[in-house]
Amino acid sequence: MATNGTADILSSAYLAVEYVDAVLPENPFQPSLKHAWGYMMDNYTKFQIATWGSLIVHEFIYFLFCLPGFLFQFMPFMQKYKIQQDRPETWEKQWRCFKMLLFNHFCIQLPLICGTYYFTEFFNIPYDWDSMPRWPFVLAQCFGCAVVEDTWHYFLHRALHHRKVYKYIHKVHHEFTAPFGMQAEYAHPAETLILGAGFFIGIMLFCNHVFFLWAWVSFRLLETIDVHSGYDIPWNPLHLIPFYAGTRFHDFHHMNFVGNYASTFTWWDKLLKTDNQYNKHMEKLGDKKEQ
């Protein structure tokens, strides 16, 4: 049933994209983007683009998306949106997190990124501008990857919470019971590989251009940093995504340790009833507000 439902969601997404692509005008920034892409293709090799380009995209996007949450701690008017207000960020925690990130990014993720060129060559993934899919199709493909990654993440993440393995691997990520954006990729190296595999499965299924790979990296980083930010902001545009879990959903997982195992969407937790404790928690919060 879940598989058919997922297929229906993806089919609907592609039908919607085909309609949007037909009615929308050309992107006004397209000439500038085309010129920049052409400059990159003329001055760098495919290996440099796939390897160092992917690394730069990852690092730039990661810390760019972490920046707002980092600045929020210095803005008193943003504290009303912080979920766990009794557990503020500390410099010690942020510095420890930053050092672990550098290790994971350059000692674990960089070797994987170095394989990007060979992946694109083996599967004949194009780099040229003319083969680049239009942005509505890129968005649909990112949504498809998110569905695949979310399914992988739910079951493997739940397995990592098993009492026989939790203390050896996943406990590292749960050192912070009140998460903050930069902590999104703070994890044991083994967890980086285990849960990160879901990211690559989507690429294997949907990647048809190197630009899409960067788009999916950006989307996934935006999502995971958002749910770890610790701030539930009402006007967050990601809330427009159907079935999007959001910050409060994942923040409860860090606070409670049990339930809410999915990374992006809510359907697996609803279907397998691993969001029961979260629902009771939200009911209590609602009752308190009414009093």
Q: Do 119 and 125 meet the contact criterion of CB atoms below 8 Å apart?
A: yes
Q: What mean pLDDT is predicted for residues 17-42?
A: 72
Mean pLDDT of 261-273: 96
Which pLDDT belongs to residue 88?
A: 87
3-state secondary structure at position 176: coil
Q: Write phi, then psi, for 55 (nearest 5 degrees).
A: -65, -45
Predicted local distance difference test score (pLDDT) of residue 22: 47
User: Higher pLDDT residue, 10 or 205?
Assistant: 205
Tokens standing for 266? 């809510």
If you average pLDDT over every residue of the chain, what do you get? 89
Q: What is the distance between the alpha carbons of residues 32 and 196, in angstroms, rounded to a whole number?
A: 33
Per-residue confidence at 208, pLDDT binned at 50, 70, 90?
very high
* Per-residue pLDDT at 9: 54
Phi-psi region of 220 (alpha: psi -120 to 50; beta: other; left: phi over 0): alpha
Give the lowest-confidence range in 56-65, 138-147, 173-182, 278-287.
Answer: 278-287
Rounded-to-integer distance, Cα 283 and Cα 276, Å: 11
Q: How far is CA 155 from the centre of its chain?
A: 17
Cα separation of 105 and 126, whole Å? 26
Band of residue 23 on the pLDDT scale cut at 50, 70, 90: very low
pLDDT band at 20 (very low <50, low <70, confident <90, very high): very low
Residue 274 CA from chain centroid, whole number? 21
Query: Which alpha helices (H) appear in 24-134, and where do they start and end?
Result: 30-43, 46-48, 54-72, 91-103, 110-113, 116-122
Report, as an integer, the average pLDDT of 51-55.
96
Give the contacts of 168 (CB within 8 A, at least 6 positions apart): 188
Q: Model pTM?
A: 0.87
